[in-house]
A and B are shown apart, each in its own frame.
With several copies, the nearest count.
Chain A
Amino acid sequence: MITAESGPTPTEGGECRLEELLIDRIAGLLEGCRHVAVGVSSPIPGSAALLARHLSGGATRVSVLGSRHLQSFTDGGVEIFDLAAQGRIDAFFLSGGQIDGSGNINLVGVGEYPTQKVRWSGSFGSAYLYYLVPRVILFRLEHSRRTMVEKVDFISAPGTSDRNVFRPGGPHALITNLCLFTFDRDVQRFRLQSIHPGHTLEEVRDNTGFDFEVPSGFGPVPATPAPDASCLALIRGEIASAIADPYPKFAAEVLGHTAAA
């Protein structure tokens, strides 16, 4: 469900890769969760969830779809959806070919539906999980006016709903290759939380098709903190080793995991 378009973009003098910064930051967003589920093709969110589990001392359960060992479903594909509706899943990750300022996501395509000029895979579980999982983290590694749009062409799942719609869940944060937004459900807008090292507010503005809140009165928008040395070691060691089950290529090429480790 997540299209990971991660490249080898090192930050801060090569100390820490973008992926590692994201893993650390997303793990922070998952603090206090009892159960985090991660969709297919999501190595960075998967690594972040495993890091959150480690930091919780094992209190956070992690289910990684598509992995045999990192999930325990025995009732077929429907079980994750049933768990979500029961409130047994606290966090999930979604992405979008387009994401707009109201938190709407589009996984279907560009142009007028149904004969769209660009057609993506489809909505998968988004039109359900986005309503039911309290902390949905939007994750997209291409932050551009093509992806961050004023209004999506097709609403796979809306960011907000009418008051009478049963909706315990929704967008919690949006993290990209440039910055971290949180979503304010009251004003139904994103708020810029931090900008990744090496990037600027102007760059974020230039590449974002929607308006967003910028916290004012406390100086410049803070930089997204990089993981400290012990956390980095953890990511490159234990986490890399665990995520190598579903994502051996990612673990090796991005986190430097060797099979022998």
Chain B
Amino acid sequence: MTIDLIIDVDSLAARVPDGAKIALVKTTGGVPMDLVRALIRREVRGLHVVCVPTGGLAVDLLIGAGCVETLETSGVTLDEFGQAPAFGRAVRAGSLRLLDATCPAVYAGLQAGEKGLPFMPLRGLLGSDIAAHRADWKVIDNPFGDDDPIACLPAIVPDFSLLHARQADGHGNLYVGDTREVLLMAHAARKTLATAERISDGNLLEDDAMRAGVIPNVYVSGLAEAEGGSRPLGIPGGYVVDGEHLTLYAEMARDEDGFGEYLDRFVFGRKAAAE
């Protein structure tokens, strides 16, 4: 079990079939950029991407590279580096099936998935155009209330949660500290494929101080070591976002040609250089 678990990043990417539903966490806490680049290189198609609960560079790259069919998100943004250009183009072109959400609705769907529940109720939502366009959400009368409508959201169960951990061990346990949304993602998904800054000796679960921040290996079905695997994004307790690179991306990706050049240079080129 332990031996099969640990492979390289491209082998992880090979395990994600076309049409898979994948979850990716928001920019600040564990986006597996190396794995995302490997997915683009392997030309994965038809993905349903669940942003937990928002997306950034990784999602914009996957969209621009033509990997995404459905996007479920509360927002896509490059933060202080501007709007996500490939996302905007795809929306205008009508090439994405959009499931616009709001952050707590994504969490609620994942929590239902985590708990093996068919749905979770959630306040808010009623009367918004978000809810109006989500035929998969339903409104019931709160059984404990009196004329009290409340939304119910179906479980979100990704086929794969893809994440980058700051540390892992040889048993496949992942240390993610207090970025609990990553733990939630891993719980909700059928399988979790992870990269980690480093794979250490020993067992993270035996470390009393770290244990509270560990995703146990029961959820993890593939792991690859990838130092700097979140770059040019940051990882808590590691490195911070590379602002120069994000500025460059925002500029290059403004049109399709520039986006293509970016891929050549930083996605396909990176691979070529490594070969």
Contact = CB atoms under 8 A, between A and B. Distances in A.
Q: Within 8 Å by CB, do A and B touch in the complex?
A: yes
B246 interface: no
Nearest to A114: B98
Contacts, number: 179
Given A76-B184, A155-B129, A86 B148 contact: no
B83 interface: yes
A9 B178 CA distance: 40
Interface string A80-98: 0111111110000000000
Contacts of A220: none
Contacts of B87: 119
A119 B75 contact: no
Contacts of A41: 79-80
Given A75-B187, A114-B133, A122 B126 contact: no
Contacts of B93: 115
B75 A123 contact: yes
Interface string B186-210: 0100000000000000000110000
Given A114-B91, A122-B76, A125-B103, A72 B173 contact: yes
Interface stretch (A11-19, A128-136, A183-191): A128-136
B131 to A, nearest CB: 7
A124 B75 contact: yes
A216 interface: no
Interface residues on A, range: 35 or more
B74 A82 contact: no
Contacts of A119: 83, 87-88, 91-92
Contacts of A127: 102, 105, 124-125, 128, 130-131
Contact of B114 (A82, A116, A122): A82
Interface string A51-75: 0000000110100001001001111
Contacts of B212: 74
Given A69-B206, A85-B115, A127-B102, A158 B128 contact: yes
Interface stretch (B10-18, B215-223, B252-260): B215-223
Given A75-B183, A114-B98, A156-B130, A166 B150 contact: yes
A87 B114 CA distance: 11
Contacts of A58: 1
Contacts of B183: 74-76
A126 B105 CA distance: 11
Contact of B124 (A40, A109, A115, A130): A130
A126 B102 contact: yes
Contacts of A116: 91-92
Given A114-B91, A127-B102, A108 B129 contact: yes
A66 B80 CA distance: 12
B104 interface: yes
Interface string A155-184: 111100110111000000000000000000
Interface in B59-91: 73-77, 79-80, 83-84, 87-88, 91
A81 B129 contact: no
A69 B205 CA distance: 8
Query: What interface size band does chain B fall in?
Result: 35 or more
B124 A131 contact: yes
Interface string B17-61: 000000000101000000000000000000000001110000000
B3 to A, nearest CB: 10
A72 B218 contact: yes
A158 B215 CA distance: 34
A82 B122 CA distance: 10
B180 A75 contact: yes
20 contacts: A78-B181, A107-B75, A108-B100, A108-B129, A115-B92, A115-B94, A116-B91, A119-B91, A122-B75, A124-B53, A124-B74, A126-B102, A127-B102, A127-B130, A128-B123, A128-B124, A132-B116, A155-B127, A161-B126, A162-B127
Interface of B: 1, 26, 28, 52-54, 73-77, 79-80, 83-84, 87-88, 91-94, 96, 98, 100-105, 107, 111, 113-117, 122-133, 147-150, 173, 178-184, 187, 205-206, 211-218
Given A72-B218, A78-B181, 20 more contacts: A41-B79, A41-B80, A58-B1, A69-B206, A74-B205, A74-B215, A76-B181, A77-B53, A77-B103, A85-B115, A114-B98, A119-B92, A123-B102, A124-B74, A125-B104, A128-B104, A128-B124, A128-B125, A131-B125, A162-B127
Interface of A: 35, 40-41, 58-59, 61, 66, 69, 72-78, 81-88, 107-109, 113-117, 119-132, 154-158, 161-162, 164-166
